[in-house]
Amino acid sequence: MSIDTGARDYLRERQLAGLRQGRGATYVNIAVALAALFAVRDTPSSLPLVGWFAALSTIVVGRTAVTMLAQKQGVSPTWQLWVHAAGATANGVAWAALPIIFMEKASGMELAFAGFVIAGMTAGALSTLCWFRPAYLGYMLSATIPLAGVYFYQAETMYVSMGICTLLYAAILTSASATFGRQIEELLHLKDDLEVERARLAFAREELVFADRTKWKTLAHLSHILRTPMNAVIGFSDILQSERFGSLGSPQYKQYAAHINASGIRALRTIDDILDASDAEAGTLVLSTSRLDPLELVRECLVQHGEAAAGAGVTIEERLPAALPRIDGDPLRVRQMVDSLLDNAIRYALPGGRVIVSARTDGPDWMEISIADTGRGIPPERIGDAVRPFVRLDDPLTRGHEGVGVGLSLTRRLVELHGGRFDLQSPSGGGTVATVRLPVPPAEATDGHPADPASGLPAADPLGAGRGATVKPPATGEMFASA
């Protein structure tokens, strides 16, 4: 694998970090050497082994000290790796001295014991020294090859077989170290790529957050700029429509002025919605709460939308209880929620269809207002899209409807500001049900569950909406929005 200088330096640094993590395991050499010395304490080889133990301990301590000094002095990563390799090789040579000490005086049992110890140490070192293959090969080969030589020196069939097994074992460890080394290098490169990708994604996320924040600020600024000329359009068109300063002449002028006035009012409402959506998304929308009667407010909204419903050929059905508990809310914003949902229901109900407005209490702590239409409904997989800002469901049958796609998202935000929950359901048989669920103050709580006396259905389920998909309130900071 061909890598550039920067990638090679990064690889060396990671290899060094891996070797340093295994620095504590180096002292296992001393512990095992001490155990070996204890095991052969009563043999003729015990006295030379004391000197061997002292030499091995000195090598281990010196190896650690030299590598730490090289790190402290700022030696290049490549040279530091070779310092580790030299120390590991010296450590392996120390282990090779064990069977040499046993060679003249020891029994076959002691030579086998030496082979067992060296085999264990060289296998165990694979996990700590495989970060830099030359370090492991120096340690393993400098210990196993002399061991095999001692076995061959005995010139007996059993020892020769043990020497051959030792060489085969060394070959297996050499192959294993090559595999480990390749896997570690690949892992380090993958980890490097992952860190680069993570940094790129973090930067992209910051850019998206900044773009989203800037988007809402820009929309708010643009809306403020548009409000002034739009108010002028509405005001002057109203003057012309009323012929306050004299007759316009042709009746068509008065008709045109009425169209201009109505269009200006719709445009101003859209601007206001965008401003409110901007404030809601930015968390700067403030409520002016008071104790209010939600039933009275809903009925006022129904009266205001009666003409629009009649013009669209839609029938509004009221399934309201005789009374509802009063709630704490901002009258302007609660009215805005209901107006928005009624407007959506009337626009998306097909001619000859119905809009069903119902309400009920849900236990002593909650009340619900549901507005349903008998239109085509929303596919379950598109429910989430329906409440994303500036997203409209691109249905050819409804594409001509007005709106910029902030109504449902703004309604959801307003409901959440009131401590409530907004649900959007679309039953499998068609139609859409939007439910506003608001908390009831303890002083106003009741236990009633009013139902529609004509149908017997609970007011919150006018279309059997439980069969459809539901939008639940997202976690704080999650991005949703509206059709």
- pLDDT reported for residue 35: 85
Q: Is 357 among the domain residues?
A: yes
Instruction: Evaluate whether residue 480 is within a structural domain.
Output: no
Asked, for residue 482, whether it belongs to a domain, the answer is: no
If asked whether residues 346 and 360 sit together in one domain, one would say: yes
User: Are residues 304 and 441 located together in one domain of the fold?
Assistant: yes
Q: Are residues 342 and 280 in the same domain?
A: no
Q: Note whether residue 479 is domain-resident.
A: no
For residues 66 and 11, state if they share a domain: yes
pLDDT value of position 318: 92
pLDDT for 380 = 79
Are residues 103 and 152 in contact, defined by beta-carbon separation less than 8 angstroms? no
Q: Would 481 be classed as within a structural domain?
A: no
- What does the pLDDT read at residue 447? 45
Smallest CA-to-CA distance from 460 within 378, 363, 347, 327 is with 363
Q: Which of 284, 312, 336 is the last residue of a domain?
A: 284
Closest C-alpha among 74, 145, 6 to residue 83: 74
Q: Is residue 107 located within the same domain as residue 188?
A: yes
CB 99 within 8 A of CB 146: yes
Host domain of residue 315: 290-470
Res 420: pLDDT = 93
Residues 210 and 77 in one domain: yes
Q: Are residues 203 and 84 in the same domain?
A: yes
Q: Is position 483 within any domain?
A: no
What is the mean pLDDT, run by run of 10 residues, along the chain of 483 residues?
A: 59 79 78 82 71 87 87 85 89 87 72 86 83 87 90 87 91 87 78 83 85 72 77 85 80 84 82 77 81 93 90 91 91 91 88 91 90 86 75 53 73 90 85 92 60 39 44 35 32
Q: How far is Cα 73 from Cα 79, in angstroms, rounded to an integer?
A: 12
Work out how many domains the chain is built from and give that number.
Answer: 2
Q: Which CATH number belongs to the domain containing residue 327 in this structure?
A: 3.30.565.10
- C-alpha distances (whole Å) from 87 to each of 95, 156, 217, 480 are 13, 34, 63, 60
Look at residues 239, 267, 284 and tell me which one is the last residue of a structural domain. 284
Same domain, yes or no: 434 and 379: yes
CB 374 within 8 A of CB 360: no
Residues 6+ apart with CB under 8 A from 144: 118, 119, 122, 166, 167, 169, 170, 173
